[in-house]
Structure 1
Amino acid sequence: MQALLEVILPVFVVTGFGYFAVWRGWFSDAGVDGLMNFTQKFAIPCLLFTAIARLDLGQSFDWRLLASFYAGALAGFLLGLFGARHLFGRSWEDAVAIGFCCLFSNTVLLGLPLTERAYGTEAMNTTFAIIAMHSPFCYGIGITAMEITRARGTAGVSLVGKVLKAMFSNALIIGIALGFIVNLTGFPIPGVLNDGLDLLVRAALPAALFGLGGVLVRYRPEGDLRVILFVCAIALVVHPMITRGLVAAFALPVEVVRASVLTAAMAPGINTYIFANMYGAARRVAASGVLIGTALSILTVWVWLALLP
């Protein structure tokens, strides 16, 4: 109960404030769009930039950690893809979009604040290492699978260009890439710029959580309930189970086990709906999966915190 009250609920209270404010009309849809643009294109990229720039890359980027997390993510994508196709009879395009819902967890807006509250700022280094690979890995798989599906297996060299363009037009990836450049070159960040970045960083997560609540008002649960619950089960249970088993097999330190499994246990992220909307496939499943998965994660994260060492 302590974890629920002290770790989980404060994060979801901020999200709930955003939801209630927009639902009651106290905060406009245009305001939510502006807030999410600020967080996702400026504040969070700055957060990721400063985090990667200051990381001890040799210690944080352990291949066993990344293999454990992304093996679970890839397994979730394949289960979602083939489950949607063969269990629920969806088209291949819908199946890829549903697989992407099982693949792309909300590592930034939920994973970072929950990890910080549960295990402290030091544990966030593990989450930052995961996030650094998250968008390139997930978009690379999702876009490749969708383009091949739409081309019925005959996608040409233009596929590589589409994947790279989609990835490197993303502000989060740009922030991560710049952070790696500064880290690897040892380029010093001027003190005034560093202080300004820290001010932006402090605003990133609270503003993003409030904005997330406002965005969720738009995603009303309707229809496709069995598929949506299937997506939630994979995202909230199967992915963290696989990650938990692998980090245990690799005998990783307990602080890495905690942060990696907790990050794997996050609900589908908003980017799953963006992906579905971009291709016009399984949009209702993606939208409702974000909303219902986020609500269910209040309980499932509580369980995972109790099970973790």
Structure 2
Amino acid sequence: MLDVLSVTLPVFLIIGAGYLAVWRGLFTQAQVDGLMVFTQRFAIPALLFLGIARLDLAAGFDWRLLAAYYSGSILCFAGGMLGARLWLNRGPEDAVAIGFAAMFANTVLLGLPIAERAYGGGSLTPNFAIIAVHAAFCYLLGTTAMEIVRAGGGGMVHGMKSVARALSTNALMIGVGLGLLVNLTGLPLPGPVDEATNLIARAALPTALFALGGVLVQYRPEGDVRGIVLVCGLSLMVHPAWTYGVGTALALSEGQLRGAVLTAAMAPGVNSYLFAAMHGRAVRIGASAVLIGTALSVLTASGWLLVL
């Protein structure tokens, strides 16, 4: 157990340092927002670009890997909506936002550093394959469901156009797209460009973890205890358990199973809150689930590492 905690604790200590720095006024919210902009628009796109550019596409984009992970995402989305309707007695729009929070795992800021520390940088091929389609999959599913429950014919078309525009200008998706382009064409990067990209990418994860801690100060847990329990239970336990079962049944390799299950075991990502805020539904649950889920995942992620 101590060996497992030696993998996960440093990650959460960096998050805690960021939280403490902002909470105690050593770092302003504006400064941490600037760090988050750097990581989201430059450092993490560089990391994803390199990861996808070097990815063995035939091995990485294995349908069994994607089926194991994303069938769990769909299950958690449906479970969150049903739980919100039948247990929490929330309206259909709130139910979609709660389902989205249960589905959208923090695949990059938590998933990558924990997997890298546990199994090494060479183990991240399954993680990058999942991340490559994660935002597009979750936003398309969530937005489609929201427009359906809001009804009104052309609303869905408008919603899909909005998602397409947002994804096409998203720096993370641009990093993934450029990485795929380099991978498929085999174009080599000039030496200085490759080295510069590597330098930026190496700053991505520690900076993003510190910034995530600072951002979490804004997300104070408020009320809606059952909703938070529903989201955290689905995202931290049901998703990885389902992925483990399906991945085992589909005979994933050890490396694929580790990557898929660890990614599925991550806490709800900040996009859970952003989706709720964008639609003005279940915002407190989305924000609190990000904060509490991140804190709980130090234990649940360690538990899944023991299982694996």
TM-score, structure 1 normalization: 0.97
State the match for 2:218 in structure 1: 218
Summarize the alignment of residues 1-309 of structure 1 with structure 2, pairs less than 5 Å apart: 1-151=1-151, 155=155, 157-308=157-308
CA–CA distance in 2 between the matches of 1:181 and 1:114? 27
Q: Residues 272 and 286 of structure 2 are in contact (CA less than 8 Å); yes or no, is this contact kept in structure 1?
A: yes
1:166 Cα shift?
A: 2.4
Partner SS, residue 155 of structure 1: helix
Q: Residues 3 and 302 of structure 1 are in contact (CA less than 8 Å); yes or no, is this contact kept in structure 2?
A: no
Partner SS, residue 155 of structure 2: coil
Q: Residues 3 and 305 of structure 1 are in contact (CA less than 8 Å); yes or no, is this contact kept in structure 2?
A: no
1:155 Cα shift?
A: 3.4
CA–CA distance in 2 between the matches of 1:163 and 1:199? 31
Partner SS, residue 204 of structure 2: helix
1:148 Cα shift?
A: 2.1
Q: CA 1:247–1:31 in 2, change beyond 3 Å: closer, same or farther?
A: same
CA–CA distance in 1 between the matches of 2:115 and 2:42? 22
Q: CA 1:222–1:159 in 2, change beyond 3 Å: closer, same or farther?
A: closer
CA–CA distance in 1 between the matches of 2:146 and 2:156? 13
The one-letter amino acid of 1:37's match is V
Instruction: Could you tell me which runs of 5 or more consecutive residues in structure 2 were left unpaired when the two chains were aligned.
Output: none
1:154 Cα shift?
A: 5.9
**1:233-265 deviation line (CA, Å, top 9, x unaligned):** 000000001100111001111111111101100
**% identical equivalent positions:** 58
Partner SS, residue 16 of structure 1: helix
The one-letter amino acid of 2:306's match is A
Q: Residues 276 and 286 of structure 2 are in contact (CA less than 8 Å); yes or no, is this contact kept in structure 1?
A: yes
Instruction: Could you tell me which runs of 5 or more consecutive residues in structure 1 were left unpaired when the two chains were aligned.
Output: none
**1:177-225 deviation line (CA, Å, top 9, x unaligned):** 1111111111221111110000000000000000000011111111000
**1:1-32 deviation line (CA, Å, top 9, x unaligned):** 22343101010011111001000000000001
CA–CA distance in 2 between the matches of 1:140 and 1:163? 7
The one-letter amino acid of 1:56's match is D
CA–CA distance in 2 between the matches of 1:293 and 1:135? 19
CA–CA distance in 2 between the matches of 1:153 and 1:172? 31
Q: CA RMSD in A?
A: 1.2
CA–CA distance in 2 between the matches of 1:152 and 1:113? 43
Q: Residues 219 and 287 of structure 1 are in contact (CA less than 8 Å); yes or no, is this contact kept in structure 2?
A: yes
Q: CA 1:278–1:159 in 2, change beyond 3 Å: closer, same or farther?
A: closer
Partner SS, residue 27 of structure 1: coil
Count how many residue pairs are aligned between Structure 1 and Structure 2. 308
The one-letter amino acid of 2:151's match is A
Q: CA 1:185–1:68 in 2, change beyond 3 Å: closer, same or farther?
A: same
